[in-house]
Amino acid sequence: MHSAANAQGDLPAADAPTADAATADAAPTAAEDFDEQLDALSAETLRGRGGLKWAITQPGELAAWIAEMDVPMAPPISAALHRSIDDGAVGYLPPAAAEAFAGAVARFEAEKFGWNVDPDAVVPQADVLAALELAVRRLLPPGGKLILPTPAYMPFLSLPPLWGIEVLTVGLLPDPEASGGYRLDLDGIDAAFAAGGALLVLCNPYNPVGKVFGRGELAALTEVVDRHGGQVFADEIWAPLVYPGNSHVPYASTSAAAAEHTITAVSASKAWNLPGLKTAAAIVTGTAGRAAVGELGDFAAHGAALPGLVANTAAFNQGGPWLRHTLRYLDGNRNLLAQRLAGLAGVGFRRPDATYLAWLDLRAFSAPDGTVRGTPIGAYLRERAGIVAVDGTDCGAPGFLRLNFAMPRPLLAELADRLATALDDLPRTA
Ligand SMILES: Cc1ncc(COP(=O)(O)O)c(C=O)c1O
């Protein structure tokens, strides 16, 4: 198989792609076409498209909240889905599709991050949160608590209590080696394990702060976890979206000890924008995880959708060229935002090393509880400027704002203008 994707150093497909997929892959959308298509999308067009991010907005508002992108679908994914729907492949999950998916995940991890994953360790899931539920329900001993570094992806804070699980939050600390960056509070995590914590959620790369963890920090974490016989849920859904100059290191790849106490979750849903297709993989590398999956039998993969597996397999096998276009475009947006925010006195911001989320420290404009004139700053910016973003309080950090910049660049420029005007109107509180 000699597709253009391979010629560009892309991943070889284990299951030989059909002629359609090879054709789609051989003609990736040219960079200019990709940019032009995306730049040309108006808010009205996006509102009419049906994705959740824009669907809840009113005319005049700009959607920068939930983690969806406005990019067009990758041609190899679209081709694979069309082919599979035309074949009527919408039944329960057949073993061949699960095997192709596991092979694609294993190959992607090996080629991209140097992590050799046994395809037998790859368990299809309905989504990453289903994998979290698997880890919580099966790895936590009775009464065991979840340890969660904060700020955090919002459902990590809100879902476990609904399952009857107590969450011990441990705030990130400023990183002395990266201005405006963060590091794990290892002493705080140690104390949380001592206080009954049994399963740590590690988001790597980190939503919302955009951090990519280095080997040293991960090794130090492994020591803490092992000291307490703890377990880790490593959420690596953002791993393909790392900007040049940074590298993702899968946590479970760092040592035998880390692999032994970890369930890793991966998916194509963020990087190729497929969250509605309900598919992720739990990579189960430890004894406890393997036993849990063994006990569950077929139910371990319950909820994973065949079309989602087809799309994820195409993404991991053939989505390289499209991912490069996306990352390049996002990098341009990241730089535009950094440039514009640098001119706004009082706004704390560090360019994320990964993800398309910007984490803005707006505490200089808000009260200690994160409000402005009695309204949470996120809601204030929506009312005042039509910017629909995530209020930091929902991530456990009042006075911050999580802003999704995966939108057409002209809309992002407009958003930056509106933010500047809205903040300009506010007295500084610090
Ligand atoms: C860190 C993180 N984990 C999980 C998810 C949700 O993934 P899924 O839809 O596969 O459950 C998201 C979505 O934004 C996320 O940012």
Residue 179: the pLDDT is 83
Residue 175: the pLDDT is 94
Residue 355: the pLDDT is 98
Structure tokens at 429: 């509180």
Rounded distance, CA 159 to CA 143, Å?
16
Residue 430: the pLDDT is 65
Residue 416: the pLDDT is 98
Q: Residue 174, exposed/middle/buried by CB under 10 A (0-12, 13-18, 19+)?
A: exposed
Higher model confidence: residue 31 or residue 196? 196
Residue 22: the pLDDT is 40
Residue that has been written with the tokens 């703890």 in this structure:
230
Residue 25: the pLDDT is 46
Tell me how far the alpha carbon of residue 429 lies from the centroid of ligand 1, in angstroms.
Answer: 34
Q: Does domain 1-11+26-73+320-430 have CATH number 3.30.300.90?
A: no
Closest ligand 1 atom number to CA of residue 203: 1
Residue 198: the pLDDT is 98
Residue 32: the pLDDT is 80
- Given a cut of 50, whether residue 357 has pLDDT beyond it is yes
Q: Is the peptide bond before 149 cis (omega within 30 degrees of 0)?
A: no
The per-residue pLDDT for range 335-355, each reduced to its tens digit, is: 999 999 998 999 999 999 999
Q: Write the CA distances from 156 to 7, 124, 178, 221, 288, integer angstroms.
A: 40, 20, 26, 19, 22
Are residues 241 and 194 in contact, defined by beta-carbon separation less than 8 angstroms? no
Are residues 387 and 418 in contact, defined by beta-carbon separation less than 8 angstroms? yes
Q: Ligand 1 within 6 A of 349 CB? A: no
Structure tokens at 84: 């599979």
The per-residue pLDDT for range 38-92, each reduced to its tens digit, is: 999 999 999 999 899 999 999 999 999 999 999 999 999 999 999 999 999 999 9
Are residues 208 and 149 in contact, defined by beta-carbon separation less than 8 angstroms? no
How sure is the predictor about 28, in pLDDT bands with cuts at 50, 70 and 90?
very low
Residue 207: the pLDDT is 98
Are residues 114 and 253 in contact, defined by beta-carbon separation less than 8 angstroms? yes
Average pLDDT over residues 164-178: 95
The per-residue pLDDT for range 85-134, each reduced to its tens digit, is: 999 999 999 999 999 999 999 999 999 999 999 999 999 999 999 999 99
Tell me how far the alpha carbon of residue 384 lies from the centroid of ligand 1, in angstroms.
Answer: 29
Tell me how far the alpha carbon of residue 120 lies from the centroid of ligand 1, in angstroms.
Answer: 23
Rounded distance, CA 207 to CA 66, Å?
12
Q: Ligand 1 within 6 A of 129 CB? A: yes
Q: Ligand 1 within 6 A of 68 CB? A: no
Closest ligand 1 atom number to CA of residue 66: 14
How sure is the predictor about 238, in pLDDT bands with cuts at 50, 70 and 90?
very high
DSSP result, 380-393: HHHHHH-EE-EEGG
Q: Ligand 1 within 6 A of 67 CB? A: yes
Q: Ligand 1 within 6 A of 395 CB? A: no
Residue 50: the pLDDT is 81
Fold of 95-318: Aspartate Aminotransferase; domain 2 (3.40.640)
Structure tokens at 305: 């959708």
Sign of CA dihedral 130, 131, 136, 137: positive
Residue 176: the pLDDT is 87
Tell me how far the alpha carbon of residue 20 lies from the centroid of ligand 1, in angstroms.
Answer: 30
Are residues 65 and 404 in contact, defined by beta-carbon separation less than 8 angstroms? yes
- Given a cut of 70, whether residue 18 has pLDDT beyond it is no
Q: Ligand 1 within 6 A of 132 CB? A: no
Helix (H) or strand (E) holding 235: strand 231-235
Rounded distance, CA 197 to CA 166, Å?
9
- Given a cut of 60, whether residue 14 has pLDDT beyond it is no
Rounded percentage of the chain residues whose pLDDT exceeds 70: 93
Tell me how far the alpha carbon of residue 242 lies from the centroid of ligand 1, in angstroms.
Answer: 16
Closest CA to 381 of 390, 151, 9, 104: 390
- Given a cut of 50, whether residue 186 has pLDDT beyond it is yes
Rounded distance, CA 127 to CA 131, Å?
7
Rounded percentage of the chain residues whose pLDDT exceeds 90: 89
Tell me how far the alpha carbon of residue 65 lies from the centroid of ligand 1, in angstroms.
Answer: 13
Average pLDDT over residues 190-200: 98
| Amino acid at position 218, single letter | L
Please state, rounded to an integer, the average pLDDT across all residues of the chain: 92
169 forms beta bridges with 148
Residue 277: the pLDDT is 96
Query: How remote is the C-alpha of 189 from its chain's centroid?
Result: 22
Residue ranges per structural domain of the chain? 1-11+26-73+320-430, 95-318
- Given a cut of 80, whether residue 427 has pLDDT beyond it is yes
Residue 370: the pLDDT is 97
Question: Whose C-alpha lies nearest to ligand 1, atom 13?
Answer: 67
Rounded distance, CA 396 to CA 402, Å?
11
Higher model confidence: residue 14 or residue 417? 417
Residue 400: the pLDDT is 98
Which residue among 53, 270, 273, 277 is best mutated to probe the pocket of ligand 1, counting the most ligand atoms within 8 A of its Cβ?
Answer: 270
What b/e readout covers 60-83, taking b as 16+ CB neighbours within 10 angstroms? ebbbbbbbbbbbbebbbbebbbeb
Tell me how far the alpha carbon of residue 269 lies from the centroid of ligand 1, in angstroms.
Answer: 8
What b/e readout covers 387-425, taking b as 16+ CB neighbours within 10 angstroms? bbbbbbbbbbbbbbbbbbbbbbbebbebbbebbbebbee
How sure is the predictor about 33, in pLDDT bands with cuts at 50, 70 and 90?
confident
Helix (H) or strand (E) holding 330: helix 320-342
Q: Ligand 1 within 6 A of 167 CB? A: no
Tell me how far the alpha carbon of residue 128 lies from the centroid of ligand 1, in angstroms.
Answer: 6
Q: Ligand 1 within 6 A of 79 CB? A: no
Q: Ligand 1 within 6 A of 128 CB? A: yes
